[in-house]
Amino acid sequence: METDFTSTHNTSTTTPTSYTIEGSLEPITGSNSTSAFNILSGSGFRYFCGDGWIDTGETCDNNNLNGADCTSQGFNSGTLTCNSTCTALVTSACATVASGGGGGGGGGSGSSSQEEPDAPEVDETLTDEDFFTYDDEIILYGTMDTDTESIEVNESSDDVEYPDDDSWSATVALEEGDNTFTIVAVNDDGESEEVVITISRHISGDINNDGDVDDYDLSKLVRMWGGSNQDGDFNSDGIVDDYDFSIFVSRWS
């Protein structure tokens, strides 16, 4: 007897002088009982659901979908699978996702996609055209859409905090002069429209904002003494006093 094992399907050939058995390394289907043991070989083995081959009577087999996918079944996203008996494709994980401005959608139960978030809002105090500061940093803050996952200020979300689900704040550094900030809301579907604001940082002591700290500014500072006018409150402590005057003197030009 000559025995030869290969990875082909199980077949048997008998000749008058020898026996050749070609066996499969994969499981052989069959039935086992106390009274009988029957091995299905040859054509019986080829029709094994789960072997990854599409045989007669099978539409698919495990991951072998015969080239089909969700798109070929009338959907535009998702994962197509094969049922447990290899007789039908399963489209329960396929979906038709609506796209912006598209035409009529096909059949099936489509799922709506998340939309890009609305543009964030910046508190009106910061966007007032007369707003300015003498400080070298400031907190930007405002509200945002509930679909927003993050806020980016000048393309960075590193210093942004979220006090609650619909508000944001970010501490930013300021140079003397005008400082421009571009703010967007971001989620998995993209970015919102840009919100651009400009924050002006004045030179401490330069009350009339002409670029010089001089007698014109001193005359204004004297009239503000003891009050809370922001123009003369260089250290932002709520009162115009000797602390502000010392800052003014140090910037005299």
Domains of the chain, start order:
1-48 (no CATH), 58-113 (no CATH), 121-201 (2.60.40), 215-250 (no CATH)
Those residues whose C-beta lies under 8 Å from the C-beta of residue 129, and which sit 6 or more positions away, are: none
Instruction: Report the predicted TM-score, pTM, of the whole model to 2 decimal places.
Output: 0.50
Most distant CA atoms of the chain, gap in Å? 126
pLDDT in the model for residue 115: 81
pLDDT in the model for residue 155: 92
The tens place of each residue's pLDDT in the chain, 253 residues long, gives 454 544 444 444 444 555 555 554 444 444 444 444 445 455 544 457 877 788 888 888 888 888 888 888 888 888 888 888 888 888 888 887 655 444 444 444 444 455 888 999 999 999 998 899 999 999 999 999 888 999 999 999 998 999 988 999 999 999 989 999 999 999 988 999 999 999 999 988 898 888 899 999 999 999 999 999 989 998 888 999 999 999 889 888 8
pLDDT in the model for residue 102: 44
What is the rounded distance in angstroms from the CA atom of residue 93 to the CA atom of residue 110? 11
Helix (H) or strand (E) holding 19: strand 19-22
First to last CA, the chain: 112
At 222, the amino acid letter reads V
pLDDT in the model for residue 130: 87
Those residues whose C-beta lies under 8 Å from the C-beta of residue 78, and which sit 6 or more positions away, are: 70, 91, 93, 94, 95
Exposure string of 77-101, with b = 16+ CB inside 10 Å and e = fewer, is ebebbbeeebeebebeebbbeeeee
Backbone dihedral angles phi then psi of residue 173, each to the nearest 5 degrees: -85, 150
